[in-house]
Structure 1
Amino acid sequence: MREITPITERLLPGMLCLNERELARLAKLIYARAGIVVNVQKKEMIFNRLSRRVRELSLTTFSQYAALLESHPEHPEWQVFINALTTNLTSFFRESHHFPILAEHARLRPKDYRVWCTAAATGEEPCSIAMTLDEVLGAGTRVWASDIDTEVLAKAQAGIYRFRDIQMLTQAQRRHYFLRGAGEHYANVKVKPALLASIQYQQINLLDEHWPLSQPFDAIFCRNVMIYFDATTQLRLLERFARLLKPGGLLFVGHSEHFNHPALPLRLRGQSVYERMEDLR
């Protein structure tokens, strides 16, 4: 009986295909640069996010695209590659149980309260943090927000959202922190300048050897990020976060992220919230 080639492998001349070897090559590159672990289950996602870019560069294979990245560690295409493969699912007050904990923590430590949001995405999370702190402590620059993806950071800094994106906020929050668009922009809102001014945005790759952050923080948000890293990378990041937290500072992680490393000076305080103990051993 003649073997029938699966339709997905019977490609027409010029049709772009991502084979296993190319997937492994791209996975190695994104892991080395951003710590993101990609497996064969992500093959379709990788293809969908990169195929248009490969065609835009007039390349015919993913191997050529990988070679372009490998040609120079500072090639501008690296940022496009990273932007394409990072996931930026977010919303205002996502995992809402964290924010009353943050508010009470800030209320007890009002002097020079500082928060680092390590995965700012398009800005909903740092804005939620800034609103929480403003309601407790008043106006002031207290949130440092970073992301590896330059495109989402630009959107965060612009502070423009759809009106439906803020429907979960109270009427008082919508009025106090947002401006409604007019005319053809009526479906959009813009974060008011005072709230945007309380957030300092900058690009940071969590895998970089040095982070451009000098002073310690009272709280760090790294939610739904470490699920994309392997155990070795997770432990290294947790150690670095602990050193950047003030004694008694809080580390907020995602609902599906759980860590149990006895050597770390972090103890579980509540649902996906860790507290830095006094002893940094």
Structure 2
Amino acid sequence: MEKESGSMKSSSQTRTEGSKEFEFTARDFERVRALIYKKAGIALAESKQEMVYSRLARRLRATGISSFVTYLDRLEQGSGETEEWEAFTNALTTNLTSFFRESHHFPILAEHLKKVKEPIEIWCSAASTGEEPYSIAMTACEAFNTLTPPVRIIATDIDTNVLNTGANGVYSIDRLDKMSPERARRFFLRGKGAREGQVRVRPELRQMISFKQVNLLADNWGVSGPFDVIFCRNVMIYFDKPTQGKILDRFAPLMKPDGLLFAGHSENFLYVCDEFKLRGKTVYELDPDRKTSSAKLRRA
């Protein structure tokens, strides 16, 4: 009976694998893991094989390539094909976000903005589709009680598709469901006609923010600071500890001595970098003993 059961299981597995449009072996998956780690620092878990297949199968269809082996060969051999490298990276990055996500951070941000010297510089380093930098901008407007606060925000992400969404500032109206009616009325314009059911961020907020592609693994980030605030939330979880440490070490000299670093709810930086100390719930500041390093500001 055990042999018969084992035979049936094998047959079932064969049918499942055969039902896929493209063959995707464990070796293919390991190649994908190595490529996305090298390109973007993302450490894909072994449990992500089906997710990777689903997302990259779309790229095979779009490019007309019939196998993962051929597709990955072309990526590895054609390093100059920047468009497909970009599409590959975009496909494997996850962009879960919302307005005022992890809401406990924003009152802390508002109080900090009132205390620091103007003009105020903020870097949102994992901007996704824009909800986070716009939440920062709304907080700044409320802190200074004006739609034109003395705040400049740089919003970056590795994914160019989501950056385009953020720069456009148009969202489905249901994205505002958890926002107070007063806040929604103040900061968004309702669409009419063909735009019914959509909202657009007010132009004053869009003018506060510069959207730009940045790969946190790149040698040159193209941002210089010094920053009063850096948001780096829910992106470090995709990096291993050594990569996290390198990025944090590069953040430190880009921050003003009294700057704040905001992290995601599941991220803990205390054991990966000596430059920061915990100030509050997932909010960090430069360690007082190391603040002198921020005076030696270097370009990223």
For structure 2, the residue ranges without an aligned partner over 5 or more in a row are 294-300
Per-residue deviation, 1:110:
4.0
Per-residue deviation, 1:25:
0.4
| Structure 2: distance between partners of 1:263 and 1:62 | 38
Identity of aligned residues (%): 45
DSSP 3-state at the match of 2:24: coil
| Structure 1: distance between partners of 2:244 and 2:198 | 37
Q: Which residue of 1 aligns with 2:113?
A: 106
Evaluate the alpha carbon distance shift between residue 49 and residue 194 of structure 1 in structure 2; reply closer, same or farther with a 3 A threshold: same
DSSP 3-state at the match of 1:142: strand
Number of corresponding residues: 281
Evaluate the alpha carbon distance shift between residue 14 and residue 47 of structure 1 in structure 2; reply closer, same or farther with a 3 A threshold: closer
DSSP 3-state at the match of 2:112: helix
> Which of these residues, 42, 60, 64, is aligned with residue 54 of structure 1?
60
Contact 2:119 2:151 in 1 (8 A): no
Q: Which residue of 1 aligns with 2:101?
A: 94
Per-residue deviation, 1:267:
0.8
Task: List aligned pairs for 1:11-26, cutoff 5 A.
Answer: 11-12=17-18, 15-26=21-32
Q: Which residue of 2 aligns with 1:7?
A: 12
Q: Which residue of 1 aligns with 2:89?
A: 82
Q: Which residue of 1 aligns with 2:231?
A: 221
Normalising by structure 2, report the TM-score: 0.89
Deviation sequence 1:195-254 (CA, Å, 0-9, x none) = 100001100000001111122101100101000000100000111111111111111000
| Structure 1: distance between partners of 2:23 and 2:103 | 42
Normalising by structure 1, report the TM-score: 0.95
Per-residue deviation, 1:263:
5.9
Q: Which residue of 2 aligns with 1:43?
A: 49
1:154 aligns with 2:164: yes
For structure 1, the residue ranges without an aligned partner over 5 or more in a row are none
Contact 2:245 2:272 in 1 (8 A): no
Per-residue deviation, 1:144:
0.6
Evaluate the alpha carbon distance shift between residue 193 and residue 29 of structure 1 in structure 2; reply closer, same or farther with a 3 A threshold: same
Contact 2:169 2:206 in 1 (8 A): yes
Q: Which residue of 2 aligns with 1:210?
A: 220
Contact 1:14 1:60 in 2 (8 A): no
Contact 1:222 1:252 in 2 (8 A): yes
Between stretches 48-57 and 8-17, larger displacement belongs to 8-17
| Structure 2: distance between partners of 1:251 and 1:150 | 24
DSSP 3-state at the match of 1:202: strand
> Which of these residues, 240, 255, 260, is aligned with residue 250 of structure 2?
240
Which residue identity lines up with residue 14 of structure 2 in the other structure? E
| Structure 2: distance between partners of 1:121 and 1:6 | 42
Contact 2:242 2:272 in 1 (8 A): no
Which residue identity lines up with residue 125 of structure 2 in the other structure? T
1:174 aligns with 2:184: yes
Evaluate the alpha carbon distance shift between residue 263 and residue 36 of structure 1 in structure 2; reply closer, same or farther with a 3 A threshold: closer
Evaluate the alpha carbon distance shift between residue 49 and residue 189 of structure 1 in structure 2; reply closer, same or farther with a 3 A threshold: same
> Which of these residues, 76, 91, 102, is aligned with residue 70 of structure 1?
76
Q: Where in structure 1 do 4 or more consecutive aligned residues deviate above 4 Å? A: 11-14
Q: Which residue of 2 aligns with 1:188?
A: 198
> Which of these residues, 121, 126, 129, is aligned with residue 119 of structure 1?
126
Deviation sequence 1:173-194 (CA, Å, 0-9, x none) = 2122110011232210001111
Between stretches 153-162 and 63-72, larger displacement belongs to 63-72
1:27 aligns with 2:37: no
| Structure 2: distance between partners of 1:221 and 1:61 | 39
| Structure 2: distance between partners of 1:134 and 1:125 | 14
Contact 1:248 1:277 in 2 (8 A): no
